[in-house]
Amino acid sequence: MKFAKRYQEILMTENFPEQWMICMVQYKKLKKLINPVVDELVNFGLLSLDIEEETTNSSAELDFINKAVSSLQLEAANQSKEKDIILDYEIEGSLEKFSTYVVVDSSDETRYNSIVSVLASPPPEENVTDADCTELTKTENMHKQIKIRLKNDFKFFQLLSNELLLLWALNDKLQEEINKELKFLSTILGTVINPTRKKNDLYIWREIFQLFVESKIFTESPTSKVCNDIKTIQEKFKNFTEKVETEFKVKKRFNLQQSSDFYVKFIHLNQFIIKLIYFYTINQMAIRKILKKFDKQTKLSAQEHFPHLLTDNINSKQYSALISTRGGAGVLSASSKPVILNVSSISRQVVYQFGAILFDIIPHIDDYTCPVCTYISYKPIRLDCGHVFCIRCLIKLQRMGQDGCPLCRQQVVLRACSENLDDKLAEYLKLYFPLETKEKQDLNESELVKERYQRVFKKSSDCVVS
């Protein structure tokens, strides 16, 4: 199936919101604008059988062009064979106002004069526009250059640029909506997990969020990089919901109706985000496909130069969210390639927003464990260096005469006393981790009983009956 038909079917069957559909890439319309560019190049004598025959002489050259690894420097691709004409492509200016040029470098005097004569011929009156101007220069060697400002390719890129602006503006608006919804959900979550309430759902939501993070729905394991494969994202989310509802049995475990309502909203928000990522993924594919088709038919290098035009706007909040370079944001090197529509940034924003706005509301046990015993820091002792340990482990360190902090090695252990007890943290842990605190308390008491028994047993064994 041709991409244009497949693209249209996806957009129609997925039931994207009307607001989104207005911003979709008009693939068919862009495709129709390529033929006038081809005709214009043929009229100028820049796209002829001679050039096509030369490019087919080497499969490496053809691959070089189609992939747009660089501008069309055919001479560099096959230095052993002199070419009579070399095409380069330039796109100058900013996204809102730019110009496109074809730079013709010719060593053939006849070919050069032929192109000049075509350019010297006045076009029909109705076609005379600012885009018809040309610039002619001569190089120091035998080559001569003609810089031609095309008209029809400008129309192509103008439409593509406008659609990119629409997509970026839509993303900004939707990200604001997601952020607003997350903040609303955070208020509900704060209520249902409130540990001061006699009935709350603190522990069940801690389990759900822990599973969500471990599922890495919007990231890839084990690197934690953002995931771009929409099918993978959908499959991970499906597995997450099935496990929550079948293994966790959340509907039966929730103590509050508000938690059930929150869960429904949380699932719907994730479905909305996944649909958004899918929408931008297929639009990204459409842009990549249309630029590839443009290069294939015109023998130019839009795939290389058009993305570089976008990076001129990299400092704009609106643009930087969806433009990236493999060489670093806003930094282009010889090997770096800009990405026109960076779907990864959407996933990255989602991961950050979930963590900063929602997940951080529920404290995680890993942030409050004693580095020595790895249990919760029951009766936490904050040393002068700032590191926190449970009181039981600190006493053991002092008994062994170890003065260095196990984390930073500062000599602060032996001088620690009751003043180092962090009362506020102790109350906080008791409030948000009542089960873990009780477990650690029981463990400490069990150790104390064992130590006392050992001391008594040792004393009794030292007794001598005469």
Report the pLDDT value the prediction gives residue 229, as an integer from 0 to 100: 82
What residues contact 33, with CB distance under 8 A and at least 6 apart? Answer: 152, 155, 156, 159
Cα-based angle 122, 86, 304 (whole degrees, multiple of 5)? 100
How far apart are alpha carbons 270 and 182 in whole angstroms? 11
Report the pLDDT value the prediction gives residue 427, as an integer from 0 to 100: 96
Instruction: Give me 210's structure tokens.
Output: 């822990």
How far apart are alpha carbons 286 and 281 in whole angstroms? 9
Going by the DSSP 8-state scheme, the letter that residue 326 receives in this structure is T
Q: What pTM was estimated for this model as a whole?
A: 0.75
Helices (H), 193-316: 202-215, 230-246, 250-253, 257-298, 302-310
CB 167 within 8 A of CB 23: yes
Length of the chain: 466
In the numeric block, the tokens 């053991």 are attached to 396
Q: Regarding beta strands 380-382 and 338-339, do their DSSP bridges make them parallel or antiparallel, or are they unpaired?
A: unpaired
Report the pLDDT value the prediction gives residue 211, as an integer from 0 to 100: 94
What residues contact 407, with CB distance under 8 A and at least 6 apart? Answer: 371, 385, 387
Report the pLDDT value the prediction gives residue 321, as an integer from 0 to 100: 44
Residue 193: φ, ψ to 5°: -100, 5
CATH of span 366-462: 3.30.40.10
Q: Which helix (H) or strand (E) holds 135?
A: strand 134-138
How far apart are alpha carbons 415 and 397 in whole angstroms? 12
Cα-based angle 281, 282, 288 (whole degrees, multiple of 5)? 90
Write out the residue limits of the CATH 3.30.40.10 domain(s) in the chain. 366-462
How far apart are alpha carbons 184 and 353 in whole angstroms? 13
Task: Name the residue type at position 10.
Answer: I
What residues contact 105, with CB distance under 8 A and at least 6 apart? Answer: 85, 86, 87, 88, 139, 143, 144, 145
Report the pLDDT value the prediction gives residue 41, as an integer from 0 to 100: 83
Task: Name the residue type at position 454.
Answer: Q
> Which residue, among 276, 278, 302, has the nearest Cα to 290 in the 3D structure?
302
CB 321 within 8 A of CB 168: yes
Which pLDDT tens digits describe the chain residue by residue (466 residues)? 688 888 888 888 888 999 999 989 999 999 999 999 888 888 877 775 343 333 333 444 334 333 333 333 333 333 333 345 556 677 776 666 667 777 766 655 665 566 555 555 554 444 433 334 444 454 444 556 667 777 888 889 888 888 888 888 898 899 899 999 999 999 999 999 999 999 999 999 999 999 999 999 988 755 556 666 888 999 999 999 999 999 888 888 999 999 999 999 999 999 999 999 999 989 988 998 999 999 999 888 888 877 766 654 444 444 444 444 333 333 323 333 444 566 777 888 888 889 999 999 999 999 999 999 999 999 999 999 999 999 999 999 999 999 999 999 999 999 999 999 999 999 999 999 999 999 999 999 998 888 887 766 655 555 554 4
Q: Return the SS3 of 63.
A: helix
The helices-and-strands tally (H runs, E runs) of the chain is 19, 10
CB 363 within 8 A of CB 377: no
Q: State the number of CA atoms in the 13 A half-sphere of 45 facing the CB.
A: 18
CB 289 within 8 A of CB 3: yes
Helices (H), 329-422: 343-353, 391-399
